Chain A
């Protein structure tokens, strides 16, 4: 096989998902805008938890008259209970952001282990693992979320578990496909003929070749997971009411969207912006590594 073949293959199998799952369709040329987004994403990850602590008001703290319009006292106004919208948006976003990263990290780890084992194994183990993966892929995401929340009770952690359950199979399929290509390459034969253990061959001579495309796909997924989490919270599957969550805040605010539009639009707008930025950042990663 030609040396470039894996790279081409990776572009094909990099993301088997339908395009509509992503906010930004198609491949965007990486320009300075994407690079800036990459920095913004890095900053968000570090600064959001700090910012959440520094907010003027607590998550459930009532600070003033309900429906105070945005202004000097409360930059984004107050909601129907008189809580500071800005504080709640930042606190909620921080939780969702780290939630999304946790989902992706767990998905990558589970998917990498199962995909690598399947890819390196013989036909039987491969078939069993991949049909299992397919079974998970066939689960309808929102229903799984309902089920998990019904079984374990409504909480943010349980929503994360629900999303991980439906998210890891994508990574498993990508990893398995790449491993099957990589394991046939001469450098793997060379490592095997040196008498290295299978574990060493896999961890040093096969898996690092998969990492690149997994990182690319994972970076593209942050925005998508963020939206899924917000969506589940929007329909009531999330942390129960007083907790600040982007989705539930937007849902609650929609009752007053004409009288006090900021209550709904602030979380929705921030979510839109952050999802957009992380998608651009994902494109930047893809351009550089993919």
Chain B
């Protein structure tokens, strides 16, 4: 394949981690054909971002990094070649889109200038913005990045990626590193479709780096599965999804939470005591930059959580679901309405999205758990045994009690946080996006852990997520939230089988699923 747009041959990248060499890539070879969309799939730490950066000629890690092998884009050497050539290729042949458009756009540069930065004309910038689906581009070019929503920012950064220097020119390769991970489901769906259209209209190749096989399944021609710096498997999308060859791919496919997945085994929940009642909850926050004005984030929300049930609040960012959870936890006071927890139910405990920062960094897991046990009245001599028991309950080795949070992995931190919450023997666990920061395989494990705990200990779950697949796996009841209101509520089977509200339907349609490709 001499006509490949980009070619990577036996690429080895070795970092120096405070003296110890660490190989991020261990001899990776990959060709990208013109007009091809290649999805590079892997979990965090698999080396996929390093690979993307090498294609862009951005050698990570400074002068101590050692690179062997070849990376060519349009025949130019992107790792060993002179900086001048690399710059020319970046300006004319490459486009880059990163995960967080808020940080990848220059906050001091207006949208128009941002898009034109590689030398395109004003008209070209306008066309690119229109093409990327930015509404009213004529006005938006004068906006600053912070004035745009996350989805619009990502569209602007894609517009910047497709406006190469020469007039009308479109780069031959776009490297998109987790371009939709920070976005809501419906926006993610639109951005993915935008990528597909760009390829169809301009014939540019796209390297889509993602952790989500579902996103890959939607547009990729070819899937490349990476782990631990090596390519485990690659092949046409349908083939990889239907007949995975490598054990790692099989594991990824099996562990992935999919909205097409099976419903959890029905659990018998006796319609019993309510453990949490939120009635007509209203919450105002002061509007940013406007003194005296209020912004209403919750418009009279009713939630009734019964003992032993698992209620999942599904909604996109900004719908007020986290605020509702904080009110339930007693961390915020509602502007109007009431939040009632009967004293018998115990204090609701929170599980956070970012598990690591939810653990006090300077205290060992043991002291964080013991502290809760002490507050719950467990006598000192019983605490070590109880700590070990709690850690066992969440699937952590008892030896980890001595560790501090930074010594644990993301998944272990979330397990420790769950153990800590259980130490207060709560009637309710309030979970705020508990798995959205975790890799797919870990996410499934933690969701199952929460489900097991509910079934075995009878603790009630109120879980907030943007991901319908997570909801399907764990919920007995689902409530769909948008704009500070609950628009639909019902048993999990009903929401998936016959969604009533148009918003619920949109969410279901936009959720990436392997079902369409794999079956």
Q: A186-B352, A204-B371, A208-B362 are in contact. Are A193 and B357 (CB under 8 A)?
A: no
Cβ B358 vs Cβ A193 within 8 A? no
Shortest C-beta distance, B222 to chain A (Å), equals 33
Cβ A195 vs Cβ B375 within 8 A? yes
Interface presence of B329 (CB below 8 A): yes
Interface presence of A26 (CB below 8 A): no
Cβ B357 vs Cβ A186 within 8 A? yes
Cβ A209 vs Cβ B358 within 8 A? no
Q: Mark the stretch among B4-12, B227-235, B342-350 that contacts chain A.
A: B342-350
Shortest C-beta distance, A218 to chain B (Å), equals 18
Chain A residues within 8 Å of B326, by CB: 189
Cβ A194 vs Cβ B349 within 8 A? yes
Task: Pick from A3, A192, A193, A209: contact of B356, CB below 8 A.
Answer: A3
Shortest C-beta distance, B416 to chain A (Å), equals 11
Which residues of B (346-393) have their CB < 8 Å from a CB of A?
347-350, 352, 354, 356-363, 371-372, 375
Chain B residues within 8 Å of A194, by CB: 347, 349, 371-372, 375, 424
Q: How far is the CA of A137 from the CA of B372 in the complex (A)?
A: 41
Interface presence of B330 (CB below 8 A): yes
Chain A residues within 8 Å of B372, by CB: 194
Task: Pick from A1, A185, A193, A204: contact of B349, CB below 8 A.
Answer: A193
How many residue-residue contacts, CB under 8 A, span A and B?
58
Interface presence of A191 (CB below 8 A): yes
Cβ B371 vs Cβ A185 within 8 A? no
Task: Pick from A1, A187, A193, A195: contact of B360, CB below 8 A.
Answer: A187
Residue of B nearest to A211 (CB): B362
Q: A192-B331, A194-B375, A196-B375 are in contact. Are A3 and B354 (CB under 8 A)?
A: yes
Interface presence of A205 (CB below 8 A): yes
Interface presence of B86 (CB below 8 A): no
Chain A residues within 8 Å of B375, by CB: 194-196
Cβ A193 vs Cβ B330 within 8 A? yes
Q: How far is the CA of A193 from the CA of B375 in the complex (A)?
A: 12
- Interface on chain B toward A: helix, strand, loop, or mixed SS? loop
Residue of A nearest to B352 (CB): A186
Shortest C-beta distance, A10 to chain B (Å), equals 13
Interface presence of B420 (CB below 8 A): yes
Chain A residues within 8 Å of B329, by CB: 189, 193
Cβ A189 vs Cβ B350 within 8 A? yes
Interface presence of A257 (CB below 8 A): no
Task: Pick from A185, A191, A204, A205: contact of B357, CB below 8 A.
Answer: A185
Residue of B nearest to A195 (CB): B347
Chain B residues within 8 Å of A189, by CB: 326, 329, 331, 350, 352, 358
Cβ B356 vs Cβ A204 within 8 A? no
Cβ A193 vs Cβ B363 within 8 A? no
- Interface on chain A toward B: helix, strand, loop, or mixed SS? helix
Chain B residues within 8 Å of A186, by CB: 352, 354, 357-358
Interface presence of A54 (CB below 8 A): no
Residue of A nearest to B349 (CB): A193
Q: A186-B354, A194-B372, A194-B375 are in contact. Are A205 and B360 (CB under 8 A)?
A: yes
Chain A residues within 8 Å of B371, by CB: 194, 196, 204
Cβ B420 vs Cβ A190 within 8 A? yes
Cβ B350 vs Cβ A187 within 8 A? no
* Chain A 50-65 interface mask (CB, 8 Å, partner B; 1/0): 0000000000000000
Q: How far is the CA of A193 from the CA of B350 in the complex (A)?
A: 7
Chain A residues within 8 Å of B417, by CB: 190
Q: How far is the CA of A2 from the CA of B102 in the complex (A)?
A: 14
* Chain A 1-15 interface mask (CB, 8 Å, partner B; 1/0): 111000000000000
Which residues of B (413-428) have their CB < 8 Å from a CB of A?
417, 420, 424
Residue of A nearest to B330 (CB): A193
Q: How far is the CA of A195 from the CA of B350 in the complex (A)?
A: 12
Chain A residues within 8 Å of B350, by CB: 189-190, 193
Cβ A209 vs Cβ B357 within 8 A? no
Q: How far is the CA of A233 from the CA of B375 in the complex (A)?
A: 53
Residue of B nearest to A208 (CB): B362
Shortest C-beta distance, A105 to chain B (Å), equals 22
Q: How far is the CA of A118 from the CA of B371 in the complex (A)?
A: 26
Chain B residues within 8 Å of A209, by CB: 361-362
* Chain A 179-214 interface mask (CB, 8 Å, partner B; 1/0): 000000111011111111000000011001100000
Q: How far is the CA of A192 from the CA of B357 in the complex (A)?
A: 14
Chain B residues within 8 Å of A1, by CB: 357
Residue of B nearest to A206 (CB): B360
Shortest C-beta distance, B341 to chain A (Å), equals 12
Q: How far is the CA of A18 from the CA of B363 in the complex (A)?
A: 34
Which residues of A (150-202) have their CB < 8 Å from a CB of B?
185-187, 189-196
Chain B residues within 8 Å of A191, by CB: 360
Shortest C-beta distance, A249 to chain B (Å), equals 45
Shortest C-beta distance, A276 to chain B (Å), equals 29
9 A-B pairs closest in CB distance: A186-B358, A187-B360, A3-B357, A186-B352, A193-B329, A208-B362, A186-B357, A205-B360, A193-B350
- Can you name 7 A-B pairs with beta carbons within 8 Å? A186-B357, A190-B417, A192-B331, A193-B347, A193-B348, A194-B347, A195-B347
**Given A190-B360, A193-B347: 5 more A-B contacts, CB < 8 Å:** A186-B357, A187-B360, A194-B375, A204-B360, A205-B360
